[in-house]
Amino acid sequence: MKRALDIAGAAAGLVLLSPVLLGLYVAIPLESRGPALHWSRRVGRDNRIFRMPKFRSMRVGAPNVATHLLDDPDQWVTPIGRFLRRTSLDELPQLWSVLIGDMSLVGPRPALFNQDDLVALRTAGGVHRLRPGLTGWAQVNGRDELPIPQKVKLDIEYLERRSLAFDLRILAATARAAVSGRGVTH
């Protein structure tokens, strides 16, 4: 049932949002040098690495680490990137990853390939067995503001509480958070 919802939701999202996707695809390289999409190496289900698309919100040449690890993140984030991150529009290309099965609409957000601390804690808690999500329980409870151990605690809670009703609750909370920009620090 979850996979069917993922396919239907991702396909509908890609079709309905195609004007927004196309507009951003054109606008991003006009605003800053480089491609519109950034393909990030992420940790997926069972700790397998996959390539995840995002609209590029950072300048070309930015270090490939979590934003909170940068000395001065503001020097790397593009002007349009600030807007994309605050509204979570940078995540829209991940609907493709949901459609092809690398991700789910709801699950723990995929870790960067080099976030060994996050991957280790998730593996210890059994969270690595889940398909990563476009959104998740940790994202609607703090996003960038949460320290890694707290994120993992919420990921484990999601693992234990998984259900269609819980996923729908998280999707609704995600829409509210995206509109408000709550929890995004860069």
70-123 tens-digit pLDDT: 777 777 889 999 999 888 899 999 999 999 999 999 999 999 999 999 999 999
pTM of the model: 0.88
Number of structural domains (the chain) is 1
State the residue range of the domain holding 48.
2-180
* pLDDT of 76: 85
Residue 65, domain member (yes or no)? yes
Residue 185, domain member (yes or no)? no
| Cβ(14)–Cβ(61) below 8 Å | no
* pLDDT of 51: 97
* pLDDT of 186: 45
More confident residue, 19 or 58: 19
Residue 78, domain member (yes or no)? yes
The model's pLDDT over 130-144, given as tens digits with 9 standing for 90+, comes to 999 999 999 999 877
Residue 8, domain member (yes or no)? yes
Please name the residues in contact with 49: beta carbons below 8 A apart, sequence gap of 6 or more: 41, 42, 43, 113
Residue 146, domain member (yes or no)? yes
